[in-house]
């Protein structure tokens, strides 16, 4: 039902990963977040399962309990922030502890917000919305402007791309693909993430067709095409290459 509503509005629900070993709590959070149809939540019960799930498909936000078996929430957060493909995923930490130390070290490790147990589900949902809004504002900010590299000049506002001074004609999809890669320059982006961000939630498309589009984009970009690197087994990376200063 929720999916249908969002399909009509043309906007996919946010994908949220709940990392919590207490199943009852995880279930309540999932229900609270999915109630309005704005989000779809998955649950994992341990830190290592969380890292595995995020590697396969980076979520839009993680709700991370600190007290987890094997790998603690703090360790999960430290791993996330050290990885170029997951560094930007917003994290809200859940902690049963009220000590200031935990909160401070959580925020220092790069958590976007924290909430102390016991908490109200309404408050948690409000925090989630606020963090997602901030992340969207950050993305939107990145989406504008001009990229100037050694060969490539891309004006994302004017929808104009040139390589070595010659204008390049791109399809809308190729342009969006370039925009997303450039926005995330020097970061490895998985095929799944490209599918989600460039193609939207249209799962009819297979990950293989991402390769086809990247191939075409590379060819069209001539000398700048080399800046789109294939990272075997992971995805693609746009490598920043600045003009040499004479
Ligand atoms: Ca727990």
CATH code: domain of residue 29: 3.40.50.2300
Number of other CB atoms surrounding residue 193 within 10 Å: 19
Whether 245 maps to a domain, the answer reads: no
Is residue 104 located within the same domain as residue 168?
Answer: no
* Domain enclosing residue 225, as ranges: 146-238
Structure-token pair, residue 131:
């963090």
Ligand 1 centroid from CA 129, angstroms: 22
Which has the closest alpha carbon to 21: 54, 41, 48?
48
Is residue 9 located within the same domain as residue 114?
Answer: yes
Strand partners, 61: 16
Q: How many Cα atoms are found within 13 Å in the side-chain-facing hemisphere of 205?
A: 20
Q: What long-range pairs does 25-30 form, CB within 8 A, spacing at least 24?
A: 25/65, 25/117, 28/121, 29/63, 29/121, 29/124
Ligand 1 centroid from CA 111, angstroms: 17
Is residue 68 located within the same domain as residue 98?
Answer: yes
- pLDDT at residue 141 in the model: 54
Ligand 1 centroid from CA 179, angstroms: 39
Which has the closest alpha carbon to 213: 163, 168, 175?
175
The total number of structural domains in the chain stands at 2
Residues with a beta carbon under 5 angstroms from ion ligand 1 = 21-22, 65, 67
Is residue 11 located within the same domain as residue 92?
Answer: yes
Whether 243 maps to a domain, the answer reads: no
Whether 156 maps to a domain, the answer reads: yes
- pLDDT at residue 181 in the model: 94
> What does pTM read for this prediction?
0.58
Ligand 1 centroid from CA 64, angstroms: 9
Beta-carbon contacts of 108 under 8 Å, excluding residues fewer than 6 positions away, are: none
Q: How many Cα atoms are found within 13 Å in the side-chain-facing hemisphere of 200?
A: 8
**Residue labelled with tokens 């102390």:** 116
Whether 246 maps to a domain, the answer reads: no
- pLDDT at residue 87 in the model: 81
**Element (DSSP H or E) covering residue 163:** strand 160-163
Which has the closest alpha carbon to 172: 224, 216, 138?
216
- pLDDT at residue 230 in the model: 95
Ligand 1 centroid from CA 19, angstroms: 8
- pLDDT at residue 98 in the model: 65
What sections of the chain are H helices per DSSP? 2-9, 23-34, 47-56, 73-82, 100-108, 121-142, 172-183, 191-198, 207-220
Q: Which positions of the chain have pLDDT values less than 50?
A: 1-10
> Does the N-terminal peptide bond of residue 118 adopt cis geometry, omega within 30 degrees of 0?
yes
Is residue 7 located within the same domain as residue 38?
Answer: yes
List pLDDT tens digits, range 77-119.
999 888 877 888 999 999 876 667 776 777 777 788 889 888 9
Phi/psi at 21 (nearest 5 deg)? -85, -15
Is residue 133 located within the same domain as residue 152?
Answer: no
Whether 190 maps to a domain, the answer reads: yes
């Amino acid at each position: 039902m929720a999916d249908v509503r969002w399909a009509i509005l043309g906007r996919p629900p946010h994908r949220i990963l709940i990392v919590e070993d207490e199943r009852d709590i995880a279930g309540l959070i999932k229900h609270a977040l999915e109630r309005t149809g704005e989000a779809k939540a998955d649950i994992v019960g341990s830190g290592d399962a969380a890292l595995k799930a995020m590697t396969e498909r980076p979520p839009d936000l993680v709700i991370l309990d600190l007290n987890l078996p094997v790998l603690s929430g703090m360790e999960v957060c430290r791993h996330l922030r050290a990885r170029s493909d997951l560094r930007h995923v917003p994290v809200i930490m859940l902690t049963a502890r009220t000590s200031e130390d935990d909160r401070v070290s959580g925020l220092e490790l790069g958590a976007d917000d924290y909430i102390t147990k016991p908490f109200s589900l309404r408050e948690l949902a409000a925090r989630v919305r606020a963090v997602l809004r901030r992340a969207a504002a950050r993305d939107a900010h990145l989406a504008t402007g001009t990229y100037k590299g050694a060969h490539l000049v891309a004006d994302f506002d004017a929808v104009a791309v040139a390589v070595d001074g010659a204008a390049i004609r791109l399809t809308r999809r190729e342009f969006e693909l370039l925009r997303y890669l450039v926005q995330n320059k020097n970061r490895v982006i998985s095929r799944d993430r490209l599918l989600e961000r460039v193609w939207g939630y249209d799962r009819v498309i297979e990950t293989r067709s991402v390769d086809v589009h990247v191939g075409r984009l590379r060819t069209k970009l001539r000398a700048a095409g080399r800046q789109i690197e294939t990272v075997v087994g992971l995805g693609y990376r746009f490598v920043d290459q600045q003009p040499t200063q004479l």
